[in-house]
Structure 1
Amino acid sequence: MENKKTVSKPNRRAKNKVGILRSHASIALHASDSVLLWHGRKDKTQGLPGFFSRTVELETAASKDDPYADHGLLLIESTMNEAFLTLNRLSTGLAKTEGRRRVTGSDCASLAPVEKPLFVSSRFGWRMVALIEEFDLFMVDLLDAQFKARVNRKAFEQQREAALHCIRSVLEKCQVTHHSGISRNDVSANNPKAISAKEKFGRIPLEVMEGVVRAEFAPEIKTRS
């Protein structure tokens, strides 16, 4: 008698499970300052890849109810919001210097932009992508304005430094943030883990510690231990 092979039926739950969302993305940088910011300054300010990695760690910890990670994201978000405002102010001011002109032309762009693939898996990482894009657009416009004698050398250096400073501030703020490995339940219990974290990382605002105030783009808290 022949042995019949039993064919297992596919698991209905596995069959209907949707995979994670994924996309391929890249950014074209047209200003040399944008490329320098991307790579960072050795032994000083981290570049964007470091920012992406760190914000993934912070968001993961924040989703596990780590108050120190939440505090870090709040600080980063505040600094990023200031940077967006600074670039907007600089761009608006630059546009006003142009005035009415009879000359027409296309947007200024690099003949050989530097293409950077984007491997970003955090909300704050994508916010940084938007920020560096705004910076790159502004710097190209500023360089174009200087070349066409609409902005003098002093004004160029002042605006360039202001734009660079606001981006570096975000990168530097990210570097000093940390996650603690504790949860808000540990804080409530005031257990040894919480006491150790407070001694190591210091105190943070009560409203953040209790989860009343969180960053606008902070992840949903998935773990309430």
Structure 2
Amino acid sequence: MNRSVFVTGGSRGIGLAVARAFAEDGDKVAICHRSGASPEGLLGVKADVTQAAELEDALRTAEEAHGPVEVLVANAGITQDTPLLRMTDAAFDNVLRTNLTGAFAAVRAATRSMLRERRGRVILLSSALGFLGAPGQTNYAASKAALVGLARSLVWELGDRGITVNVVAPGIIATDMTASLSDRRMEDVMRMTPLARPGTVDEVVHAIRFLAGPGASYITGAVVPVSGGLGMGH
């Protein structure tokens, strides 16, 4: 491989593992991150995905260094869990602006060059909990479920230009984000997971690499669960 790859939320967790995997395959990888230092060996560009102008500038920097973006992984996401009656408008809006509007803005910026080149891969990171719902996560679940509608509409708009759009929906993956779950909540979710264990970051990475690779050239509009069976059938 020698493609130009852009990963949002690429400074830690799943995003960082994905970026490093593409780099190991020989791709030219740029990551977008809001804070902290850029990971060693990757082109890091600071941008807040909720700010469209910053995201446009980040894509421009990546393309100046690596050429037109051919693979976009929209991974940036946050949680702000609160029961409905205590959830503020800001807490709801913040999560949707990052998880949903940020993904939309990243796709809009990246696909301009894909349309010209008549090829590209777009992969959106959703969540199995987006289909199941979860207490205290009305904002998170709404944002992750909406990514499916976004992807399937994009399939119709971009398909005749050779651009595929797919969704990866992880279940409970062993990352910093899930480390904060209480023992009781983890036990509850594991009872709903047929494989009865959390997934690994590498298991999510394998799915993303497949969807970005030549073997997935005729797959578009798919929701690929990497969830141990949690939320299957959606």
Q: Could you tell me the TM-score, scaled by structure 1's length?
A: 0.28
Answer 1 or 2: which has greater strand percent. Answer: 2
Report which structure shows greater RCO (CA 8 Å, sep ≥6).
Answer: 1
Greater radius of gyration (CA): 1
Answer 1 or 2: which has greater helix percent. Answer: 1
Q: Could you tell me the TM-score, scaled by structure 2's length?
A: 0.27
